[in-house]
Amino acid sequence: MDHFEIKDGVMHAEGVPLTRIAEEAGTPIYVYSTATIERHVRVFREALAGIADPWIAFAVKANPNRAVLATLAKAGLGADVVSGGELMRARAAGIPAAKIVFSGVGKTAEEMALGLKEGIGQFNLESVEEAEMLSEVATSLGLTAKVAFRINPDVDAGTHSKISTGRADDKFGIVYDRAVAAYARAAELPGLDPTGVAVHIGSQLTDLTPSRAAFERVGVLIAELRAAGHTITTADLGGGLGVPYNPAVPAPPSPADYGAMVADVTAGWDVRLIFEPGRVIVGNAGVMLTRVIRVKEGKTYPFVVVDAGMNDLLRPSLYDAWHNIRAVEPNGDTFIANIVGPICETGDTFARSREMDKVEAGDLVAFMTAGAYGATMANTYNSRGLVPEAIVSGEEWAVVRDRQPIEALIEADKLPPWL
């Protein structure tokens, strides 16, 4: 459920008409709803009510805007970060270091040092080589790192291939059969306290069976590690729970179903569970607001050319992602159209032969469920400034990331001395 509703003929974000935001801040722009974010946190927490003291670390990659992170910090969430930049953003938004987990397959020594100096809660390591580097960095600083190994459970999450992370040949995690040896090695290394196990099999998961299979493998491993003399106190079950993008297809499992499955699988593990939800917290809490530049005649269907491009919302071209596309002021008519952006690539197509609200030049259109992996993946292709972001809370709203002026792009390029 979200707080984007048509009231008096106009789509509102909570108490604010999207027409007002478009007029005052321009388009394209992302608009987030605080009430929706807060609701999703509440629903996720309630789903984990049967689990003692869960550590919920929002996956910053899904939406790193400081206002969004500060909203989540206020709600008591921690953060799952995958770079020094995300770590600094989480800290700048007020997320305590102790609630931060540092994931990612390619942490550098500098990023490790940053995490250690900040005093983050846990490093999720993805290889023995990474453990050796972290050991060196930690000992050079005279610090000890709490670490988990992310294991690769060899489970196909059944999602889009580019966001599947738990198959044996994916780049993530330690080969399952070599995990016990990895913990033995980590236990010998100074500056490391290997007390956790982590797993994450992918994103936009619409079936709980693969997650259950992966978590069961974690349970078996915890028992094996304890039998080998290791003290295991945390298990990080990653993120991945899908969100409903298309109202016409069955909804993914609910957070409550997910929580019940987790409670069932992890009964008796005797660890603190860590969760890294991203999409399920912010996905439905954001829309991308764009204006129709023109409707161009096509051979079969008209092309609705909007002022947002694949550089502003990459998911459709990268993952064939489906976003519901709605008129901000629907007139009750529908038509079948192709929705495209202005970028010079055929890949800049948001939807083909889509039945949607009938729109014409100048109308505003909202791409629903754009709060996760939306603005954060935006880029400046075709020399388009980075897309701005706004957040609404009740009757109030504010721009929380300015539109990048083209002058900033030009100034960032430097001419060599010979030109």
191 vs 278, which CB is nearer to ligand PLP? 278
Q: How far, in Å, are 26, 36, 291, 330 from residue 364 at the CA level?
A: 11, 22, 4, 9
Cα separation, 119 vs 169, whole angstroms? 33
The answer to whether residue 200 forms part of the interface with ligand PLP (CB under 6 A) is yes
Contact flags string 101-140 toward ligand PLP, x per CB under 6 A: --x-------------------------------------
62 vs 112, which CB is nearer to ligand PLP? 62
Q: What is the DSSP string of 207-223?
A: -HHHHHHHHHHHHHHHH
Site for ligand PLP, residues 62 to 91, rule: CB under 6 A: 62, 80
CB neighbours (10 Å) of residue 14?
19
101 neighbors 236 (Cβ within 8 angstroms): yes
Contact flags string 350-379 toward ligand PLP, x per CB under 6 A: ----------------------x-------
Min separation Cβ 66 and ligand PLP, Å: 18
Min separation Cβ 210 and ligand PLP, Å: 13
| DSSP H or E run through 292 | strand 286-296
206 vs 338, which CB is nearer to ligand PLP? 206
Per CB under 6 A, the segment of 24-32, 55-63, 354-362, 397-405 that binds ligand PLP is 55-63
Cα separation, 107 vs 112, whole angstroms? 7
Min separation Cβ 46 and ligand PLP, Å: 17
Which residue in 127, 203, 206, 324 binds ligand PLP (CB under 6 A)?
203
236 vs 363, which CB is nearer to ligand PLP? 236
Min separation Cβ 239 and ligand PLP, Å: 3
- Residue count, binding to ligand PLP (CB under 6 A): 17
List all residues 6 or more positions away from 167 whose beta carbon is below 8 Å from its beta carbon.
152, 154, 155, 156
Cα separation, 102 vs 122, whole angstroms? 6
Min separation Cβ 277 and ligand PLP, Å: 5
44 vs 397, which CB is nearer to ligand PLP? 44
Cα separation, 349 vs 310, whole angstroms? 8
Contact flags string 280-319 toward ligand PLP, x per CB under 6 A: x---------------------------------------
277 vs 316, which CB is nearer to ligand PLP? 277
Nearest 5 degrees, angle CA 11-CA 13-CA 14?
115
213 vs 293, which CB is nearer to ligand PLP? 213
Site for ligand PLP, residues 11 to 50, rule: CB under 6 A: none
Q: What is the DSSP string of 160-208?
A: -GGGB--STTSSSSEEGGGHHHHHHHHHHSTTEEEEEEE---BSSB--H
The answer to whether residue 194 forms part of the interface with ligand PLP (CB under 6 A) is no
Cα separation, 29 vs 364, whole angstroms? 11
The answer to whether residue 95 forms part of the interface with ligand PLP (CB under 6 A) is no
Burial class of residue 414 (count of CB atoms within 10 Å of its CB; 0-12, 13-18, 19+): exposed
Strand 78-81, strand 325-327: pairing: unpaired
Cα separation, 207 vs 157, whole angstroms? 8
Per CB under 6 A, the segment of 54-62, 92-100, 305-313, 394-402 that binds ligand PLP is 54-62
Cα dihedral value 276, 280, 285, 286, nearest 10: 80
Cα separation, 182 vs 401, whole angstroms? 43
Site for ligand PLP, residues 227 to 286, rule: CB under 6 A: 238-241, 276-280
List the catalytic residues: 344
Which residues lie near ligand PLP (CB under 6 A)?
59, 61-62, 80, 103, 200, 203, 238-241, 276-280, 372
